[in-house]
Amino acid sequence: MSAFAFVTPTWDAAPWAAAMRQAAPHLNVRVWPNMGHVNDIQYAACWLPPANVMTGLPNLKVIFSLGAGVDAILADPTLPRHVPIVRVVDPDLTNRMSEFIVMHVLMHHRQQLRLNENQRNGIWQAFTQHAAKDVSVGIMGLGVLGQDAARKLEVMGFQVRGWSRSAKVIAGVDSFAGPEQLNEFLKDTDILISLLPATPETDGIINRDLLSKLSRAGPFAAPILINAGRGRQQNENDILACLDDGTLYGASLDVFTQEPLPKTSRLWNHPKVMVSPHSAADSEPLTICTYIAAQIAAFQKDKSHSNQIDRKLSY
Ligand code: NDP
Ligand code: OXD
C-alpha cells in the first residue's frame, strides 16, 4: 500500500490532512506520530520534522516542503540524502508574497508610519510625496518570488534591480550576480528587500557592513530594509543600531532569528519598524495539497517531479 504522511510537529496537521484527502481522495493520508506501518509511506510533507523520522521511512520516494523554503526540513541532521526534496512553487503563494512586498514598499514610500503617528496625535500634516521613478528598489534573491515582486514594482514605476547567484534577464530590471557585484547592487539601492533562501552563504548577510553600503541619495537620505526571506539572514542588533543612528531610515521585518519574536525584543516597539509574524505569504492547505497531489501523480506516472532543490546549495 502506498501512503502519504504529514510530519508537522509545530503545526496543526488536521486542516492539511483534510485538504489532502480532498485533493487526492485515493491517497492513504496519515499524520505523524500516528503513521501506522512505516514501510507503507512513500511520500511525506513536512515542516521541522523531528530527527530520525524521515530516515525511519525506508520506502520514502519524495519529501515535500509545505512552503517555498526548505530550511525547516534541512534542519534535520538525519535527513536521508538520496530522497529528493520538492518545494512549493505556486502562483497563489507568489501572489501573496508580491502583495506583501508591494504593500511594504508603498507604506515606506508614502510614509505611512509617520501618518499613523500623526493620526494618533490628531495632527493634520501632509508630507512631501516622492515620485516612484526617483526611488530604486533592490531585491536580493531574484528567484520565483523575487522576480514576480520585481515585475510588479517595475509596473508601478520604481527603478528595480535584483541580485542573485546567476544573472537574470528581466525587462526593466537591472540584474547583478554573485559576490563580486554585490557592492555595485547595494550602492544605488534605496529600498532593500530580501527574498533570499536561508543557506550557509546567506546566513547573517544583512548586517551593519551591508546596510552601510546602501544608497543615501534616495528621498529620505537613508535606506529602508524589508526582509521576508529568513531571519537567519539578519543581525538584529546591527539593524537596531543602524535604525538608531540613522544608517537605516526604516524597516519591515516578517522573519526573525527567533520566532515567535521574543516579547523583550526592541523591534516590537521601535518607531521606525513594522513587524509581522512570518506571515508575508501563507501556504494555503488546499492550494498546496493540490500542487503536491499533481506532483505525486506525475511521479507515479513517469517518476518525474519539478521544483526539486539542490542539496549542495541548500535551496
Ligand atoms: P528561489 O529558489 O526561486 O529563489 C532564490 C533566489 O535567491 C534565487 O534568485 C537565487 O539565485 C538567490 N540566491 C540564493 N543563494 C544566493 C546567494 N548566495 N547569493 C545570491 N543570490 C542567492 O526561492 P523563492 O523565490 O521561491 O523563495 C525565496 C525564499 O523566500 C524562500 O527560500 C523562503 O526563505 C522565503 N519565503 C518566505 C515566506 C514568508 O512568509 N516570509 C514565504 C515564502 C518564502 P539563482 O537564481 O541564481 O539561483
Ligand atoms: C515558506 C514560508 O517558505 O512560509 O513558504 O516561510
The CB-side HSE value for 30 (13 A sphere, CA atoms) comes to 20
Residue 261 phi, psi dihedral angles, 5° rounding: -60, 125
Q: Kind and range of the H or E element at 293?
A: helix 285-302
Assign domain 3-88+283-302 one CATH number from 3.40.50.300, 3.40.50.720, 3.90.45.10, 3.40.718.10: 3.40.50.720
With 0-12 / 13-18 / 19 or more C-beta atoms within 10 angstroms meaning exposed / middle / buried, residue 180 is exposed
Q: Residue holding cell 514598499? A: 105
Q: For ligand 1, is residue 150 a contact (CB within 6 Å)?
A: no
Give me the pLDDT at residue 232, please.
98
Question: Which fold, 92-275?
Answer: Rossmann fold (3.40.50)
Is the Cβ–Cβ distance between 47 and 32 less than 8 Å?
Answer: no
CA of 152 to the centre of ligand 2 (A): 20
CA of 281 to the centre of ligand 2 (A): 7
CA of 138 to the centre of ligand 1 (A): 14
Is the Cβ–Cβ distance between 219 and 130 less than 8 Å?
Answer: yes
pLDDT in tens, 5-34: 999 999 999 999 999 999 999 999 999 999
14: which strand partners? Answer: none
Helix (H, G, I), strand (E, B) or coil at 203: coil
Sheet of strand 41-46, all strands in order from the earlier edge strand to the far edge: 28-31, 3-7, 41-46, 62-65, 85-86
Grid cell in block for residue 36: 501506522
Give me the pLDDT at residue 315, please.
98
Ligand nearest to the CA of 230: 1
pLDDT in tens, 148-187: 999 999 999 999 999 999 999 999 999 999 999 999 999 9
What one-letter code names the amino acid at 227?
A: N
Average pLDDT across each block of 10 residues of the chain; the chain has 315 residues. List them in order. Answer: 93 97 97 96 97 97 98 97 97 98 98 97 97 98 98 98 98 98 98 98 98 97 98 98 98 98 98 98 97 96 95 98
Considering the candidates 270, 278, 305, 311, report the single residue annotated as catalytic. Answer: 278
Give me the pLDDT at residue 1, please.
67
Closest CA to 250 of 285, 279, 290, 221: 221
pTM: 0.98
Radius of gyration of the chain (CA): 21
What one-letter code names the amino acid at 284?
A: E
* 232 catalytically annotated: no
234: which strand partners? Answer: 206
Q: At a CB cut-off of 8 Å and minimum separation 6, what does 291 contact?
A: 88, 90
Atom of ligand 2 nearest to the CA of 67: 5
Report strand pairing: 41-46 vs 3-7. Answer: parallel
What's 205-263 look like in SS3?
CECHHHHCCCCCCCCCCCCEEEECCCHHHECHHHHHHHHHHCCCCEEEECCCCCCCCCC
Considering the candidates 230, 266, 305, 311, report the single residue annotated as catalytic. Answer: 230
Calpha distance 200→222 (Å, rounded):
29
* 278 catalytically annotated: yes
Residue 25 phi, psi dihedral angles, 5° rounding: -60, -25
- What DSSP string describes 73-130? HHT-TT--SSS-EE----HHHHHHHHHHHHHHHHHHHTTHHHHHHHHHTT---PPPPP
CA of 144 to the centre of ligand 1 (A): 7
Give me the pLDDT at residue 2, please.
84
Return residue ranges of the chain for CATH 3.40.50.720. 3-88+283-302, 92-275
Instruction: Give the mutation target among 145, 261, 283, 307 for probing the ligand 1 site: most ligand atoms within 8 A of CB.
Output: 145
